[in-house]
Structures are given as C-alpha cells and as structure tokens.
Amino acid sequence: MWKDHLEDLLNYHVLPIVVPSSNITDPIDGLKKSTTLNNEEIIFTLGEATDEEDTGIFVNTDAEVIDADIDIINGIVHVIDNVLLPPWVNKTILDIVSDENPPAELPDDVNVDLVKLDETLEEVFKEAGPDEFDLPNILDSPGGYTVFAPTSAAFLKDASKLEDLNIDQLSSVLSYHVVEGVYPESVLVDGFTLTTLQGEKIRFTSITDGSGTTMVNDETIITPNILANNGIVHVIDGVLIPDGSKDLFDVTADDEDDEDLSLFDKYIVIYPDFVDTLNDDKEITVFAPTNDAFKNLGSDVAPVVAFNLLTGPNITTTMWKDHLEDLLNYHVLPIVVPSSNITDGLKKSTTLNNEEIIFTLGEATNEEDTGIFVNTDAEVIDADIDIINGIVHVIDNVLLPPWVNKTILDIVSDENPPAELPDDVNVDLVKLNETLEEVFKEAGPNEFDLPNILDSPGGYTVFAPTSAAFLE
C-alpha cells in the first residue's frame, strides 16, 4: 500500500553525483543545494556542530551530518542524525490540488488546472449540507486514498455531462474518483478493477503501443504517482462518470463488453423531440437493442420495414421517419422498471407509443444473460444500467410494434384495429373493407385492384373514409 512512498523517501536520501563534505564547506563556492533521485531538492547549510565530533553541515536545516565522507566503490556516504522528509510528507491530497505551487511532476498548465479543480470542489460543496459527500474533508483526512484527479480542462470538456446534475449526482461523480487504499500506477494493470467510494468499479486498460499509457475507464492517466501523506494522486484527462450519473447517450455511445449500441444511438438522434423526451423525462426505462440486433432483422420481418427503417436510404427523410420514431418509442417505458420488478412478477407495461410489451421468464441463452424476455424473443442480456433519469436494459433483438406485421389492408379489415381509433371508427373501417369487397367483387383483372395494392409492400399513403362518409 505505501511501498512507493517509502521508495520515494529513500530516493530523497540519494544524489546522482558525488558530493564530499568539502564541496559544502567551501567558504567561496560552497554547495547550497542539490537534486535527489526523486527529483526534489535538498538544501545545505552550515552551522554550529551539535557535538564536538559532528560536522556542522545540515541538510534541510534539521539533519546534521555526524560522520562525513565514508568512501564506497561508487561514491560517498554521509551519516545524518535525522530522516530527510520529502515535501509530500507535509501535504495531503487536498493540499496538492489546492496549492498554487503543486508538485514538480506536473507540467505548468496542469498545475493551474488542479488549482481550478479545488475551486470546482468548493463550488460544488459550498451549499452542501453536512450529510453530503464531503470530498474536501476526505482528501484532507489521514487516508490512505487514491484519487483520480481530472484537470479543469477535463471538466470543461465534459461540461455537458455535468451541467444538469444536482448536488447528489455531482457528489456521486466526485466520489467515483476516489478509492480507499493506496494504488500506484504499477499495480493498475490491464483488466484490474477498483471499487470507488461511490460504490461502482473503475477498470484499467494498458495501451499496448509501447507508450506505457494506462487508462481508467476511457480516460488517460497523464501524470501518475503524485504522492501525498494520505495517499496518491493520478491526474487524468477526463471526468469519470458513474452509471447513475450518465445520461442515455453516454450509455449508447459506450461499446464496452462488445455490446455496441451505436446504431440505436444513431437512430435516436434523428429526432430532436425524442432526444428531449429521453433527456427530460424524470423516469424512463429503455430497452436498447445491440447493433447485432438491428443487423439480424431477417426475412421474418416485413422486408420493407427492415430496409426502409433501418438500412435504407430513407432513414433521414420524411418518408418512413414516423415509422422509425414509433419503433424507437416502443423501446421506452415512461416509468423505471428494474429487472427485479420483472423477476418478481411484472407481466407487461405500456411504452411511449401507447403499445404494450410483454415480459416472460425463461432459460438464459448464455450464462451471463438474464433469462428475462421481452415479447418472447428479445432477451435482456445486460440489465439495470443506471442512468441519470432511469435505467437501461440491453436486449438482443429489436422490439417490433404490432403495425410491423400489418398492411394497410389488415388495418381496415381487422376486427380489432389500432388503438388510435375511437370505437365507432373502428367499426367504420371494418365496414369500409366490406364496401371495398362489394365494389371489387365483380371487377375483372384489369380493373384498379385496391385490396391487392393495400396488401402489397408499398409504401402508400391512404386517406380512408369511414363508412359513415360513404353513406353521406
């Protein structure tokens, strides 16, 4: 836990050059300071010897050389009467991010950034009550802690993710940057995980390009191993966002675990109003199909739907835009439904397009899947991903609203037409179908064959009079 700190302290006792005591006592050119192996300076002063046999040479004012110039094969040794303490011994983590003169390990612009980080902390917590997560006090306590400290540039880069968070959510974000225990970069190997004070895990990745770069989640550690007396700081170039403080688009843009949701994300952003709904509604549950789910829509789905909605050239035009929006709405519930609600017995729920989806429990397809099925053939393969206003379940098939399997002729022929229609018009449209049959039952093959047209792939727009309209 504290091995790097001890190593650094020991390095503070070694100079990479030979300095005999005469170099220090020389009255004209006496050495005043030198840089140790840990890249920190030590200061030499001359004073009255404590004992007759001592030298009167002091290092950092309080460590006297009591036995000088012991020759060794590759240098020289001076015995001192106190341990030399590097600057971090007197600095907490909070001091490091608050100090106008932070550690030498940091480039100048990052120094300023970390001071701004302290200002950000003060801003976040200035109105927080005593029950809030009090990060400044934690960073000033005995520890030990490991802190992944974003620069202020990182905060600016990720401002859009943070600006709508309330104090509880900001506290969650900040506590997601702190781990109990001291972990130098050397232990942050590829695949290693740590549990933060926020409760969720962070994962580390080693970049294999020879640079030695380590990443935490998707952010790069740009300056590792800044030591403090209560832990260690790693400076990172982005803000770590825990699941519960992410919005839907943070999740859909994340391809972790090969469950890439980028196509779902691509379709959603076509609709600004739908995006606003997903961001603004206080409680939502999203069933997010993977890219493979969209790509695997096969011949069992009406081909025109699969082509025109999902892969065809009309995706961003008005022709099928309402259909796609309705399909996307069919993947969103206006309430929060964790998987435990379903395993406890929830059978169905109504989506944003006012259609029901059905939940069933079965045998999981793979060991890591849930055995929760939506509309019988879409399994929840990754459940309960928290977002700022609800929850996301990743599914392995696209949910298809009822209209996908209905032609226009089906709609005017069905004894149970779409829910959008009032009861009297439902009946009217059935009568319209009967009227159509009456009109065309004696028509020859060269006549205008409306029923077959209304049952063909299309696409068509039909202005359908009610039977009452025909009577008029």
| pLDDT for the residue numbered 257 | 45
Topology alike, domains 91-244 and 248-402: yes
Domain residue spans of the chain: 3-86, 91-244, 248-402, 406-471
Neighbours of 412 (CB within 10 A): 21
For domain 248-402, the CATH superfamily is FAS1 domain (2.30.180.10)
pTM of the shown model = 0.61
Give me 456's structure tokens.
Answer: 């063909």
Give me 239's structure tokens.
Answer: 């803000």
Peptide bond preceding 144 in cis form (omega within 30 of 0) = yes
- Work out the pLDDT band at 29, boundaries 50, 70, 90: confident
Q: Residue 204: CB partners within 8 Å, gap ≥ 6?
A: 188, 189, 190, 191, 192, 193, 194, 214, 215, 216
User: Considering only 25-34, 357-366, 410-419, which range has the smallest mean pLDDT?
Assistant: 410-419
Instruction: Enumerate the β-bridge partners of residue 232.
Output: 146, 227
The better pLDDT of the pair 467, 383 is held by 383
Instruction: Enumerate the β-bridge partners of residue 227.
Output: 232
The better pLDDT of the pair 259, 257 is held by 259
Sign of CA dihedral 331, 334, 340, 345: negative
> Looking at the domain 3-86, which fold is it?
FAS1 domain (2.30.180)
For domain 91-244, the question of CATH label 3.30.420.40 is answered with no
Q: What is the pLDDT of residues 283-328, one digit of tens each?
A: 899 999 988 888 777 555 554 555 555 555 455 556 677 888 888 8
How far apart CA 335 and CA 352 sit, in angstroms, is 10
Per-residue pLDDT, averaged over 23-36, amounts to 86
| pLDDT for the residue numbered 350 | 93
| pLDDT for the residue numbered 94 | 83
Neighbours of 266 (CB within 10 A): 15
Q: What is the pLDDT of residues 43-63, one digit of tens each?
A: 999 988 888 888 899 999 899
CA dist 399 to 2, 327, 375, 379, Å? 53, 8, 7, 10
User: Considering only 10-14, 25-29, 213-217, which range has the smallest mean pLDDT?
Assistant: 25-29
